Amino acid sequence: MSKKAILEIDGNKYEFPIIEGTEKELGIDIKTLRGATGGITTIDPGYKNTGSCESAITFLDGEKGILRYRGYSIEELAEKADFLEVAYLLIFGDLPTAEQLDKFDKDIKEESHIDEDMKRILDGFPKSAHPMGVLSSLTSALIAFNPGSVDVDSEEAMYGAIVKIMAKFPVLASWTMRKRKSLPLDYGDSSLGYVENLSKMMFSRPNKTYEANKIVNDALDKLLILHADHEQNCSTSTVRIVGSSHAGLFASLSAGISALWGPLHGGANQAVIEMLEAIREDGGDTAKYIAKAKDKEDPFRLMGFGHRVYKNFDPRAKIIKVAAEEVLGDLGIEDPVLDIAKGLAKVALEDEYFVKRKLYPNVDFYSGIIYRALGIPTEMFTVMFALGRLPGWIAQWREMRLRKEPIGRPRQIYTGETYRAFKSVSER
Ligand code: CMC
């Protein structure tokens, strides 16, 4: 028998079906709530208890520390797959065959040029501009160069738009870094793989022949895979909700980039390194900063700790911690900040405040240490996150449009003034 939930309000009983996901998650389906109860709504700030959609893309179990893309475990994908395969998997639902992957790769390469006029837009930004702001603006500007909305009922048109943004996004992302570093723009090299090409576009120097570094590229590949999707987080929900008004793919992505920028979301990776640096400059006293994080009068939070859904451990953080040690070892880098990070994690993991609130290191706690070792400037860290998250955002946008989801429009409980008669200025 199918499960149901019964809600009683003032003696009246209302019945709601309970839907069950493929991983046995249960959700009370309240679609009929307002109609049945005469306008009673739910209230759930931050949507901590609200499922905004049904989705077949990513499964995560915060208690058990499970993360799977389309059924495949993050551990296995990080170990065995490459980023382009994972992008295809997320967007189209299955791992690509050799032919599908080859076509995807070739189609992306075909679209990787950027209109020369886009450079004039980039020129208009001051060098000091944060790369995330520039990236969001450039992604939005792409619309002007690729006008016309995607016909979501046409598989071909949808594929065309997806390939276009997968191709142009890394070029734009690397340009934001080169602009800040006063380097000439690099257009990439179509003979290289997706991640290797990204690496070239970021790190090439005008006076040197670019030489691929396998350690750097493998680490980048892994980081991009680990960030590729994370179900209905802040930026992804933004992409879906903006897209639900039938705004185009690029416009929805640009909004997602802005949402990701915040320090409580993707911006945490930059904030973590800045915090670790500040602790180092302050003498490396981790206990002092643990105390600050616990002090309710102090706004300081331990960046890179805690997660809305992971309440046991973040499986991505586990993989990244090991990768950070490997990459630093392979590149022969000793970074005192890694020791501070490990020290903080050790103390926090045993401290009652953190244990009670189930606050564990998250994906961003160690990722910045790898980015630093790879020579990526701190303010580019969140751009790296965006590069990884791109296929996830695309997959979620595509799913939302194909399922013909209604426009996202939450309700509220009004707590302002009740009716007041207008008084002219002379009467106030
Ligand atoms: N340092 C100190 N205390 C914390 C922290 C932290 N990093 N995170 C949560 N808390 C406390 C918080 O003060 C609250 O305490 P109390 O119950 O006494 O009021 C309790 O833990 C629950 O916190 P919350 O803010 O209600 O939890 P949330 O689910 O709304 O927030 C979070 C999740 C990730 C925004 C939060 O843990 C945080 O701000 N962490 C630091 C920023 C960060 O690392 N963000 C990256 C998240 S992972 C990458 C991504 O997916 O975006």
Res. 255: pLDDT tops 90: yes
Q: Is 270 in the pocket of ligand 1 (CB under 6 A)?
A: no
Q: Which of 357, 364, 382 for mutating ligand 1's site (highest number of atoms within 8 Å of CB)?
A: 357
Q: Is 305 in the pocket of ligand 1 (CB under 6 A)?
A: yes
Question: For residue 362, which atom of ligand 1 is closest to its CA?
Answer: 48
Q: How far is the CA of 292 from the centre of ligand 1 (A)?
A: 14
Q: Which of 301, 320, 353, 367 for mutating ligand 1's site (highest number of atoms within 8 Å of CB)?
A: 301
pLDDT digits (tens, 9 = 90+) for 182-204: 999 999 999 999 999 999 999 99
Tokens of 51: 């499922």
**Percent of the chain that is helix, strand, coil (3-state, to 5):** 55, 5, 40
**For the stretch 359-378, what's the b/e string if a residue is b when 16 or more beta carbons lie within 10 angstroms of its beta carbon?**
bbbbbbbbbbbbbbbbebeb
Strands across the sheet containing 66-69: 58-61, 66-69, 72-73
Compute the average pLDDT of residues 295-320.
Answer: 91
Confidence of residue 146 (pLDDT cuts 50, 70, 90): confident
Compute the average pLDDT of residues 302-328.
Answer: 90
Paired with 20 in beta bridges are 26
Q: Is 363 in the pocket of ligand 1 (CB under 6 A)?
A: yes
Compute the average pLDDT of residues 118-124.
Answer: 95
Residue identifier of the C-alpha nearest atom 24 of ligand 1: 308
Are 398 and 253 in contact by the 8 Å Cβ rule? The answer is no
Q: Which of 359, 364, 385 for mutating ligand 1's site (highest number of atoms within 8 Å of CB)?
A: 359
Q: Is 253 in the pocket of ligand 1 (CB under 6 A)?
A: no
Compute the average pLDDT of residues 311-331.
Answer: 89
Compute the average pLDDT of residues 418-425.
Answer: 97
Res. 126: pLDDT tops 70: yes
Q: How far is the CA of 145 from the centre of ligand 1 (A)?
A: 40
How far is it, in rounded angstroms, from Cα 121 to Cα 49?
42
Q: Is 307 in the pocket of ligand 1 (CB under 6 A)?
A: yes
* Per-residue pLDDT, 349: 87
> Three-state SS for 380?
helix
Nearest one of 170, 211, 199, 147 to 87, comparing CA atoms = 170
Compute the average pLDDT of residues 123-137.
Answer: 96
Q: Is 304 in the pocket of ligand 1 (CB under 6 A)?
A: yes
Q: Is 89 in the pocket of ligand 1 (CB under 6 A)?
A: no
Contacts of 73 (CB under 8 A, 6+ apart): 66, 67
Q: How far is the CA of 305 from the centre of ligand 1 (A)?
A: 7
Q: How far is the CA of 357 from the centre of ligand 1 (A)?
A: 9
Q: How far is the CA of 94 from the centre of ligand 1 (A)?
A: 34
Q: Is 230 in the pocket of ligand 1 (CB under 6 A)?
A: yes
* Per-residue pLDDT, 173: 97
Res. 102: pLDDT tops 90: yes
202-208-211 Cα angle (round to 5): 65
Percent of the chain with pLDDT over 70: 100
Q: Is 279 in the pocket of ligand 1 (CB under 6 A)?
A: no
76-82-83 Cα angle (round to 5): 110
Res. 43: pLDDT tops 80: yes
Q: Which of 307, 311, 347, 389 for mutating ligand 1's site (highest number of atoms within 8 Å of CB)?
A: 307
State the Rg of the chain over Cα.
Answer: 23
Residue identifier of the C-alpha nearest atom 42 of ligand 1: 264
Q: Is 226 in the pocket of ligand 1 (CB under 6 A)?
A: no
* Per-residue pLDDT, 325: 86
Q: What is the pTM of this model?
A: 0.93
Q: Please, what is the average pLDDT of the chain?
A: 94
* Per-residue pLDDT, 293: 94
Q: Is 264 in the pocket of ligand 1 (CB under 6 A)?
A: yes
Compute the average pLDDT of residues 317-324.
Answer: 90
pLDDT digits (tens, 9 = 90+) for 61-97: 999 999 999 999 999 999 999 999 999 999 999 999 9
Active site residues: 307, 364
Q: How far is the CA of 271 from the centre of ligand 1 (A)?
A: 14
Compute the average pLDDT of residues 255-271.
Answer: 95
Q: How far is the CA of 301 from the centre of ligand 1 (A)?
A: 8
pLDDT digits (tens, 9 = 90+) for 334-385: 888 888 988 898 888 899 999 999 998 898 888 988 998 888 999 999 999 9
Nearest one of 75, 15, 25 to 49, comparing CA atoms = 25
Q: Is 355 in the pocket of ligand 1 (CB under 6 A)?
A: no
Residue identifier of the C-alpha nearest atom 41 of ligand 1: 303
Are 58 and 237 in contact by the 8 Å Cβ rule? The answer is no
Q: How far is the CA of 307 from the centre of ligand 1 (A)?
A: 6
Res. 152: pLDDT tops 90: no
Confidence of residue 422 (pLDDT cuts 50, 70, 90): very high
* Per-residue pLDDT, 1: 67
